[in-house]
Structure 1
Amino acid sequence: MDRISGLSDELLVKILLLVPTKVAVSTSILSKRWEYLWMWLPKLDYGQGRSHQGLKLYLYYESLTPVKIVSGSATDYGHSYCSEPESSRLRRFLDHNLPLHRAPVIESFRLELVSSRFKRTSIKMWVAIAVSHCLREMKILYESKLNILPSNLFTCKSLVILKLAGGMLLNVPRMVSLPSLKTLKLQRVKYFKGKTLQRLLSNCPVLEDLVLDLPKGESTGKLTVVVPSLQRLSLDIPSAHDIVGYVIKTPDLKYFKLVDDNDKSHYCLIEHMPNLSEAHLDVALPDIKSIIGSITSVRRLAICSAAMFDEGFVLNQLEHLKVCVCRDHSSNQIFRLLKSSTILQELNLFSMEDHFPQFMDNWNEPSTVPECLLSSLQSLNWSLYGGEPQERDIVIYILEHAVHLKTATIESSEGQFSKFEMLQELALSSRASTTCKLMFECPFEL
């Protein structure tokens, strides 16, 4: 230990950066040489819910006595939580030590406070102190309906990444200027007024990555996302959320993820995204014309739609297509998409997370073979293939018409005997491609 203690402060701080903040804090009890070194750390991670050991170290430093951590599921994240005395000790630790922090620049500051016992004034002070150190990245998880963010956070010129999660209230002041913010992630955050989010977004001139997970049981009214600089957008609207509609104007977008489970009547207006490369759509809307019309330049698309894909759209840049087969109209949806995708190379039929395959309706065999089957399709993958007549007919149709198909991979959820029967049935079907390899996979071997 003496040889390590002889190193320069700068080098010792770099060593402390290699371990979690909780471990770095615990080194302060080693000797006078180490007592204040951790206060120069440019990265601080105060995670109450990350592990029992982390909280023990904070409280041990403060009291030098063992503490008891109470386990439970205080939040949706399933983290541990503190009793009232333990929360008080953690608060006293932060109240005493954060004002003394010496690093001129805090690169990263993370607060994970799953207990609602922390006072709003205390959290505001901690955040304000971090911001005063030329803060670059902030992550906060707090399960409470309180407004815990100080006003100086919204005028922080150095802030590049801001991630907020939990039930906290976001009240954006009139004075907002975040000239360096590139990443903004808001999960289940509640908004003080209808224009709160719009005011925040309009004052982030270089924002590139935006994640919005709207909270259940709340109301957003009209959601407007107008960000010319945005390149990645993820929007999640749960079924139990009151929304009038949303407007999206992001002309430079390259990645778009929309999960709209809200089956209540609401409008959707999305302007064309000429630079879009990848999209993930999971929508319960009865009409998706606005969505499809905005993504015609996409190259990679994953889609699950309660509405039938309308004919007339041309996805002439689409190369990789994933279609969720949890809808009863999936079979006809597949072929409408194939007809629209003139240069498609890969077709993947699957079920999205928390979606389950449905019994398909009879599909209408196309009067003309989709162009991509004749000119470009090289790969077919079907996950959770059940061997139903409609499923079998679709696979056989593609095998019989896909001239350039190289691989057809069928993954079955059935047992070994059914697997052999399905393999034999498909293997005997004719194939337009003489080089096509038919592969059959079964995750539940007997």
Structure 2
Amino acid sequence: MDKINGLPDDLLVKILSYVPTDIAVSTSILSKRWEFLWIWLPNLDYTSRWCRKPGDVGLRDFIHKNLPLHRAPVIESLRFHSNSPDIKPEDIRRWIEIAVSRHVHDLDIDHFSENENIFLKGKSLQELLSICPVLEDLSVYCDDYENTKELTIVVSSLLSLSLYIPDEWLLDGYWIDTPSLEYLKLEDWNSCDHLSLIKNMPKLREAYVDVKCFLPKSVIESITSVKHLTICSKDGYGDGFVFNQLEHLTLCVCRGDSPSLLGQLLKDSPNLRILEISVMEDHVDDVGISLNQPSSVPECLLSSLQIFKWPQYLGRPEDRDIADGFDDGYVFNQLKHLNLCVCKEESSNLLGQLLKDSPNLRILDISVVKDHGTDERNGMVSWNQPNFVPECLLSSLQTLLWSRYFGRQQDRDIAVYILKNACHLKTATILADTDEHDVPNLQMIKELALSLRTSVICQLVFVEYLN
């Protein structure tokens, strides 16, 4: 303890910043020197864990007493999570005012009350935000019982905004004006008609957009400058938009009209480098419809796309329609890294097709996504070899990684074919799962180790897969 006490105050405060706020506060009983060290902490985390039992007002009294005494010139973050009925909206507003006076950068308020709302009228939130001149990170999560009809967020300093709109909220609309914003997460699950006005986001670089109904024009206009877009929405968004800066697209295909949105985004993203097709967490994968192929091959498929991932490929007719679209004159000239889940019946056909259409592929990652079924009824069927060896195997493929290799006949056929024809293969790493289909590890090793390898420099590595 004497050695620690010998350290300067600045260093002790930095050490305290690595532990939860309530633990940092508890050090105040160690000695007179430690009594007030914690009030210099730049990050404050007040949660309901402070309360010992329902109805305990200890947390409320503690914040009332000590927050006004806080000495840090800048509060980097203030986090308050509680469902205590003893904490009133006016308490929270007072604490926020104090934090703002300390130039708070990150404000996270999560308070549940059955009887009262922090924001008593539509403009209360914006009135609060208007006194936050350096606020950089804001998360707004609205509940179904909100009585606010309009939501306004105008903050010139804001860099990151997360906004959740629930389904049952009777909302007239929301207006967002954040000229410095770099990251936007918009989850608008409201199926009722409402206005969505978003403007002035020239610096936006990443957006996560999950909209239950159709994409409003103002939302599309605000995200055309992004480099990374994750999106789920009904149907398309109209003509006249170009995503010139978009390099990484993750599209949720849980809805029937998702293929239409995919086709439009491919057409409007000429510099796309990474395409990932997936289903967002907590989304239900609906029965899809066929892809209406664009009248011409999208520019990104001809010149820029390098990585294509479809970790949750189900092999349904609508999925095959999307995949088959890439077979109809589409070539992934820039595709360098392919990650494909082979848990479904049609996976082997999709693999063969993508190998054929990716002449410059360098890394092939075959896997089975965690929690995906791999039973014989639903699993990948036998491999139909291409009529000719794909160009990527002859000239560019250097790395093969197969996670959860089961050693079934269809698995062996694919692995042996690649080893036999990949002329420039440097490494083939096989993570053997011997339990799934009761194929002994030694048998797997022998079958592949004794197979023909065209590349004389290829190293075959076996690793036991651990669940």
TM-score, normalising length: structure 2:
0.71
Q: Which residue is 2:206 aligned to?
A: 209
- Separation in structure 2 between the aligned mates of residue 440 and residue 142 of structure 1, nearest angstrom: 50
Q: Secondary structure at the match of 2:372?
A: coil
2:214 match: secondary structure: strand
Q: Are 1:145 and 1:167, in contact at CA under 8 Å, matched by a contact in 2? A: no
Spell out the pairing of 1:127-146 with structure 2 (5 A cutoff). 128-134=127-133, 135-146=135-146
Equivalent-residue separation in structure 2 for 1:109 and 1:64 (angstroms)? 19
Tell me the residue number matched to 1:274: 270
Aligned-pair distance for 1:342?
1.3
Q: Would the alpha carbon gap of residues 188 and 441 (structure 1) be closer, same or farther in structure 2, given more than 3 Å must change?
A: farther
Which residue is equivalent to 2:443? Answer: 421
Give the drift of 1:99: 3.0
**Partner of residue 287, structure 1:** 291
Q: Tell me how far apart the structure 1 counterparts of residues 14 and 126 of structure 2 sit (CA, whole Å).
A: 24
Distance 1:55 1:163 in 2: 31
Alignment of 1:1-400 (within 5 A): 47=47, 52-53=49-50, 59-63=57-61, 86-89=84-87, 91=89, 93-101=91-99, 103=101, 105-113=103-111, 118-121=116-119, 125=124, 128-134=127-133, 135-146=135-146, 153-165=152-164, 167=166, 172-173=173-174, 176-187=176-187, 189-190=189-190, 193=193, 195-196=195-196, 199-200=197-198, 202-214=199-211, 219-222=212-215, 225-226=220-221, 227-236=223-232, 243-246=234-237, 249-263=242-256, 267-268=260-261, 269-270=264-265, 271-282=267-278, 286-287=290-291, 289=293, 293=298, 295-296=300-301, 297-303=304-310, 304-305=312-313, 306-307=319-320, 308-309=323-324, 310-311=326-327, 312-357=329-374, 358-400=378-420
What code does the residue aligned with 2:106 have?
S
Q: How many Å separate the matches in 2 of 1:166 and 1:336?
A: 41
Q: Report the alpha carbon displacement of residue 20 of structure 1 after superposing the two structures with TM.
A: 5.1
Please give the alpha-carbon distance, in whole angstroms, between the structure 1 residues aligned to 2:237 and 2:348: 30
Indicate the residue corresponding to 1:70 in structure 2: none
Aligned mates of 1:259, 1:336 — CA distance in 2? 22
Q: 1:59 to 1:318 in 2, by over 3 A?
A: farther
Q: Kindly tell me: are residues 53 and 104 of structure 1, through their superposed partners in 2, closer, same or farther at Cα, counting changes over 3 Å?
A: closer
User: Secondary structure of the residue that 1:190 maps to in structure 2?
Assistant: coil
Q: CA deviation at 1:143?
A: 4.3
Superposition deviation, residue 118 in structure 1:
4.9
- Aligned-partner residue type, residue 182 of structure 1: E
Contact 2:404 2:465 in 1 (8 A): no
CA separation in 2, counterparts of 1:24 and 1:444?
A: 39
Alignment-mate amino acid for residue 382 of structure 1: W
Deviation at 1:340, TM superposition (A): 1.4
C-alpha distance in 2 between matches for 1:399 and 1:133: 61
Q: List alignment gaps of at least 5 residues for structure 1.
A: 66-80, 238-242
Q: Does 1:412 align with 2:432?
A: yes
Distance, in Å, in 1 between the alignment partners of 2:417 and 2:445 is 16
Check 1:179–1:335 CA distance in 2 against 1; reply closer, same or farther (3 A cut).
same
| Equivalent residue, structure 2, for 1:77 | none
1-structure distance, mates of 2:232, 2:297: 18
Give the alignment's Cα RMSD to 1 decimal. Answer: 4.3
Task: Choose from 439, 450, 455 the match for 1:433.
Answer: 455
Q: 1:190 to 1:292 in 2, by over 3 A?
A: farther
Instruction: Provide the identity percentage.
Output: 30
Other structure's SS at 2:397 match: coil
Contact 2:366 2:403 in 1 (8 A): yes
Amino acid across the alignment from 1:299: Q
After superposition, what is the alpha-carbon deviation per residue over 1:335-365, rounded to whole angstroms, capped at 9, x for unaligned?
A: 1111111111100112335433442233331
Aligned partners of 1:194 and 1:220 also within 8 Å: no
1:100-137 CA-to-partner distances (Å, cap 9, x unmatched) read 44535321111234666551525974674344121221
Query: Structure 1 pair 387/234, CA: closer, same or farther in 2 (3 Å)?
Result: same
Which stretch shows the higher mean deviation, 102-111 or 279-288?
Answer: 279-288
Gaps of 5+ in 2: 64-80, 280-287, 314-318
What is the CA–CA distance in structure 2 between the aligned matches of 1:206 and 1:99, rounded to whole Å? 28
State how far apart, in whole Å, the 2-side matches of 1:193 and 1:14 are.
Answer: 49
Kindly state the Cα deviation for residue 432 of structure 1 after the two structures are TM-superposed. 0.8
Q: Deviation string for 1:386-423 (max 9, x for gaps)?
A: 22222211111101000111111222322486221122
Q: Distance in 1 between matches of 2:255 and 2:405?
A: 29
Change in 2 beyond 3 A, CA 1:292/1:324: farther
1:89 partner SS = coil
